[in-house]
């Protein structure tokens, strides 16, 4: 082990001690040792042992650790710190702008244990509530994490959804529109995506020169019939290449392996017509079209054969916004702005459900502010009742449309709600007298997420059984790419919700998306 590696061990040890809030002088000793060892003119491994302790900057405790490192290749005390610190906390050392001291605050005071949670907290403006974290730090931390994540190569579906059109357009420009087809995980609308996949009707030899631009993407993998590039933003781009039938190729690379294997078994002699969309494949098989997002399991093919495909929720099915935070808590807009935007989009009503009082980091509402907010909602609803433009009718397509004629339409309405924290013991965040002033209550867990399944279940079931709970919010508390949810028995929760007439939220936040 050379001096560089020895110094690295001391450096990491110093940082982990700091993160764990150890005594300043102990920490400092290790940091100085790292600094000195790095600069030594001779290699410690070649220095006679008895001379080690006479080297300037290496005292008794550092010297012993050096010997341990040279003999065993590890430091026992460092291994202990590593195993006692959550991996997500150690990972924070990769983020520019937060040193060990700040990480200590993040971990011990904010109770955040992963980068994903930290990013989420930045977005919720929670960092600024702690000493040493101003708006500027928060902004820098957010940007640094986003950069770090994009380099890790994992993306949320919503992130890719934003950049996908540019990439598709670029490819279509390079290869002509009929030779480029989207496929794979993105086409199936998976929750998180590692590779954006396209079928390109061209050979590797034709494709590669087109990417030799001034700032070429990195070619990470080259196979006979596919290429893998890494773009500057960290996204991996898989291109299925070659002279094969493009319709067949798209079909076979879109579905999961389980789905395509079963399909080929069920319809062994199917003909793939070149240039057609893959709807033609289903037509040839004489079964209804299976949308890409459903092509995961073998069982879905049986459902298609027997005409039992589920009807999927479409954008036009959405007739209101329900779980919404205004600037009364941690949202950005006023009630009026939110309501007007809903009216503009043809939605029928808006449910305002700001954070409850325990969520202090999100400016959760105390009782007096709830009363004030309700007064404001009453006043706005009165206005809407008089405004012709807020009268809505469903048109023939099922889509709500503002109807100035107002014949039989009903006025736009804001419902009074709250996103009540589910407290540690499963109770809601207000006494009954307050709870009954809401039109509906969304109950969600936001803190104390580390529970075993039994405790988590008792807590959730108690909240579900509360007569004031209308909706169970983001059931597992998970944050995609950053935090696993707490363990729950989904079946039992669904049964409890059914028995208590509680609605289960399908949370549409790109990081949540449970259940």
Instruction: List the interface residues with Zn ion, window 340-399 (CB under 5 A).
Output: none
Q: In this chain, which stretch among 210-218, 314-322, 441-449, 495-503 interacts with Zn ion, using CB under 5 A?
A: 441-449
Q: In this chain, which stretch among 18-26, 196-204, 273-281, 438-446 interacts with Zn ion, using CB under 5 A?
A: 438-446
At closest approach, how far in Å is the CB of 158 from Zn ion?
17
CB nearer to Zn ion: give 159 or 444: 444
Q: Residue 182 pairs with which residues in a beta bridge? A: 198
CB nearer to Zn ion: give 409 or 477: 477
CB nearer to Zn ion: give 444 or 476: 444
CB nearer to Zn ion: give 340 or 444: 444
At closest approach, how far in Å is the CB of 68 from Zn ion?
48
Q: In this chain, which stretch among 76-84, 156-164, 194-202, 440-448 interacts with Zn ion, using CB under 5 A?
A: 440-448
Residue with structure tokens 């007096």?
368
At closest approach, how far in Å is the CB of 28 from Zn ion?
42
Q: In this chain, which stretch among 61-69, 162-170, 183-191, 436-444 interacts with Zn ion, using CB under 5 A?
A: 436-444
| Sign of the C-alpha dihedral computed for residues 144, 150, 155 and 159 taken in this order | positive
CB nearer to Zn ion: give 444 or 469: 444
At closest approach, how far in Å is the CB of 359 from Zn ion?
8
- Alpha-carbon distance of 198 to 169, in angstroms, equals 12
- Please count the CA atoms within 13 angstroms of the CA of 116 that sit on its side-chain side: 17
- Alpha-carbon distance of 71 to 1, in angstroms, equals 9
User: Is 444 near Zn ion (CB under 5 A)?
Assistant: yes
- Alpha-carbon distance of 428 to 422, in angstroms, equals 5
At closest approach, how far in Å is the CB of 460 from Zn ion?
14
Query: SS3 of 53, please?
Result: coil
Residue among 439, 447, 445 nearest 418 (CA): 439
Q: Report residue 383 as tokens.
A: 């206005």
Question: What is the number of the residue whose Cβ is closest to Zn ion?
Answer: 444
- Alpha-carbon distance of 9 to 391, in angstroms, equals 68
CB nearer to Zn ion: give 346 or 477: 477
User: Is 250 near Zn ion (CB under 5 A)?
Assistant: no
Q: In this chain, which stretch among 162-170, 370-378, 424-432, 437-445 interacts with Zn ion, using CB under 5 A?
A: 437-445
Q: Report residue 183 as tokens.
A: 């496929």
Residue among 342, 347, 356 nearest 469 (CA): 356
CB nearer to Zn ion: give 170 or 424: 424
CB nearer to Zn ion: give 156 or 418: 418
At closest approach, how far in Å is the CB of 144 from Zn ion?
25
CB nearer to Zn ion: give 220 or 506: 506
CA distances from 454 to 449, 460, 463, 486 (A): 13, 10, 14, 11
At closest approach, how far in Å is the CB of 421 from Zn ion?
9
At closest approach, how far in Å is the CB of 505 from Zn ion?
9
Q: In this chain, which stretch among 90-98, 114-122, 443-451, 453-461 interacts with Zn ion, using CB under 5 A?
A: 443-451
- Alpha-carbon distance of 149 to 399, in angstroms, equals 38
Query: SS3 of 425, please?
Result: coil
Q: Report residue 214 as tokens.
A: 């001034």
Angle (deg, nearest 10), helices 60-72 and 24-39: 60
Classify residue 102 by its DSSP letter: H
- Alpha-carbon distance of 398 to 131, in angstroms, equals 52
Distance of CA 276 to the CA centre of its chain: 35
CA distances from 363 to 124, 147, 358, 389 (A): 10, 29, 9, 33
Q: Report residue 22 as tokens.
A: 């150890």
At closest approach, how far in Å is the CB of 288 from Zn ion?
37
Q: Report residue 47 as tokens.
A: 């220095």
Total residues contacting Zn ion (rule CB under 5 A)? 1
At closest approach, how far in Å is the CB of 446 from Zn ion?
6
CB nearer to Zn ion: give 29 or 444: 444
CB nearer to Zn ion: give 24 or 360: 360
At closest approach, how far in Å is the CB of 466 from Zn ion?
17
Per-residue mark of binding to Zn ion, 273-302 (x: CB under 5 A):
------------------------------
> Contact residues for Zn ion (CB under 5 A)?
444
């Amino acid at each position: 082990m050379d001096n560089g590696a020895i110094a690295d061990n001391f450096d990491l040890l110093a940082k982990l001690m700091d993160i764990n809030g150890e005594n300043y002088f102990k920490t400092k000793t290790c940091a100085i040792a790292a600094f000195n060892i790095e600069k030594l003119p001779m290699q410690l491994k070649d220095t006679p042992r008895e001379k080690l302790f006479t080297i300037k900057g290496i005292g008794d405790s550092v010297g012993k650790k050096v010997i341990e490192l040279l003999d065993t290749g590890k430091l026992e005390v460092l291994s202990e710190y590593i195993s006692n610190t959550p991996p997500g906390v150690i990972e924070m050392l990769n983020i520019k702008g937060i040193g060990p001291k700040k990480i200590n605050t993040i971990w011990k005071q904010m109770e955040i244990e992963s980068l994903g949670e930290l990013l989420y907290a930045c977005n919720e403006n929670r960092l600024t509530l702690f000493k040493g974290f101003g708006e500027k730090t928060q902004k820098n931390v957010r940007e640094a994490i986003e950069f770090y994540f994009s380099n890790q190569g994992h993306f949320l579906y919503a992130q890719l959804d934003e950049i996908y059109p540019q990439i598709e357009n670029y490819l279509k420009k390079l290869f002509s529109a009929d030779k480029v087809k989207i496929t794979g995980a993105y086409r199936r609308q998976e929750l998180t995506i590692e590779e954006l996949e396209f079928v390109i009707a061209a050979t590797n030899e034709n494709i590669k020169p087109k990417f030799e631009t001034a700032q070429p993407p990195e070619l990470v993998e080259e196979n006979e019939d596919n290429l893998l590039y890494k773009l500057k933003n960290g996204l991996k781009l898989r291109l299925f290449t070659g002279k094969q039938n493009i319709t067949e190729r798209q079909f076979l690379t879109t579905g999961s392996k389980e789905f395509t294997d079963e399909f080929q078994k069920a319809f062994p002699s199917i003909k793939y017509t070149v240039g057609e969309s893959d709807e033609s494949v289903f037509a040839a098989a004489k079964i209804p079209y299976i949308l890409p997002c459903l092509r995961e399991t073998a069982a879905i093919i049986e459902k298609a054969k027997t005409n039992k495909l589920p009807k999927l929720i479409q954008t036009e099915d959405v007739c209101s916004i329900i779980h919404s935070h205004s600037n009364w808590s941690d949202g950005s807009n006023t009630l009026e702005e939110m309501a007007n935007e809903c009216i503009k989009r043809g939605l029928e009503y808006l449910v305002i459900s700001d954070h409850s009082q325990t969520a202090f980091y999100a400016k959760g509402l105390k009782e007096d502010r709830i009363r004030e907010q309700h007064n404001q909602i009453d006043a706005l609803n009165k206005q809407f009742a008089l405004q012709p433009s807020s009268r809505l009718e469903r048109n023939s397509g099922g889509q709500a449309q503002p109807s100035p004629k107002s014949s039989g339409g009903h006025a736009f309405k804001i419902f009074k709600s709250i996103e009540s924290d589910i407290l540690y013991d499963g109770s809601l965040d207000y006494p009954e007298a307050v709870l009954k002033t809401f039109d509906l209550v969304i109950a969600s867990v936001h803190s104390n997420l580390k529970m075993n399944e039994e405790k988590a279940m008792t807590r959730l079931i108690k909240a579900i059984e509360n007569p004031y709970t209308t909706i169970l919010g983001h059931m597992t508390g998970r944050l995609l790419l950053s935090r696993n949810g707490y363990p729950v028995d989904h079946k039992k929760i669904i049964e409890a919700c059914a028995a208590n007439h509680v609605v289960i939220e399908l949370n549409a936040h790109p990081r949540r998306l449970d259940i």
